[in-house]
Amino acid sequence: MTMSDKTKAWNVALIQSDIILGQPAQNRERMETKMEQAVSAPEKPDVIVLSEMWNTGYDLNQIGSLADPDGKESRAWLASFARTHGVHIVAGSIAEKRGDKVYNTMLVFDRTGREVASYSKIHLFRLMEEEKHLAPGDRAVKFELDGIPSGASICYDIRFPELARTLSLNGTEVLFVPAEWPHPRLHHWRTLLMARAIENQMYVIACNRTGTGGRDVFFGHSLIIDPWGEIVAEGGEEEEIVTGRVDLGLVAEVRGRIPVFSDRRPSLYEL
C-alpha cells in the first residue's frame, strides 16, 4: 500500500518493553514476540516503534563485545519482519559496532522491508556515561514513510530544541523518539516531548522502555502527541503495547491555524 496524500492516518504501535541487560538474543526474541502480537491486533499497525538500545540495554562496560557488528543481524530480521507483515518499523535504536566504535543507532524500515534511514544519536548522555563508551553520530536525519516527512531523535536529543527545529524547518511532520528515560525525570520527559510537538507543530511519537537497568528505573510513559499538543495515547509504567491513531492531515491544519513558521524572525535570533 502507498499513501499518496497527507490526509491519511496511521495506526501506530509502540512496543513499551523491559530490556534484559546484555542479552541481545533474548531481547530480540522478546521484541519479535511483542511485534507479532502488535501485528495480530484487530487494528493492525502501519508503524511499529521500539525503544532505545533494546538489544543490549545500557551494558556499557561490555558494549564493545555485545554490539551488533554493522547492525547486520538486527537489520536482517527487522527488514524481513517489515516485509512479511507489510508494516513500517522505526526500530528504536541498537548498539551498533562500526569498525572499533560503537554507536547508538536508530534503524528505519518501510513496509517493503527497505531500510529508509539510520541515525546515530548525536548528543551522548553524560549522566549515564554514554560518552565514555559510545561514539556520537555526526548528522541529523530525516526520512519519509508513505511520503510523510519524518525525523529522528533519540532520548537525550529532545533536550536540544535546535535539532527538532532544524528537522521541522526542513519539512518534518512526525518526530520519532526512542528512549531509555528513567525516574526521577518523568516531568522532564513529558514536558519536553509536549514542547517539541507544540513549538514545531508536528506529531511526536516516543517509545520509552520499562524495568530496571543498573541503578536506573525506567518509567515507560510512551507517548503519542499531536501537533496541537494533545495526548493521543500514553503508556503506564509497566510493559504494554501503546497504540494510537495519527491523523497526518492535522499537521497542515495546525500550521495553518497559527503560522509560526512564516512568523519567525531568524535575522533577529543572533545577539
- Sorted by sequence, the CB contacts under 8 Å of residue 187 that are 6+ apart come out as none
* Nearer Cβ to ligand AKG (159/264): 159
* Nearer Cβ to ligand AKG (195/252): 195
* Nearer Cβ to ligand AKG (71/178): 178
Whether 132 sits among the annotated catalytic residues: the reply is: no
Catalytic residue among 34, 97, 155, 173: 155
Q: Which residue is nearest to ligand AKG (CB)?
A: 156
Least distance (Å) from ligand AKG to the CB of residue 160? 10
How far is residue 27's CA from residue 42's CA, in Å, rounded to a whole number? Answer: 25
The cell 522491508 sits on which residue?
A: 113
Whether 33 and 4 have beta carbons less than 8 Å apart is answered as no
Catalytic residue among 121, 130, 180, 207: 121
Whether 257 and 16 have beta carbons less than 8 Å apart is answered as no
* Nearer Cβ to ligand AKG (114/126): 126
Whether 101 sits among the annotated catalytic residues: the reply is: no
Least distance (Å) from ligand AKG to the CB of residue 263? 30
Least distance (Å) from ligand AKG to the CB of residue 52? 6
Least distance (Å) from ligand AKG to the CB of residue 62? 17
Least distance (Å) from ligand AKG to the CB of residue 188? 6
* Nearer Cβ to ligand AKG (159/257): 159
Whether 43 sits among the annotated catalytic residues: the reply is: no
Binding site for ligand AKG (CB under 6 A): 125, 128, 155-156, 159, 180-181, 185, 188
Active site residues: 52, 121, 155
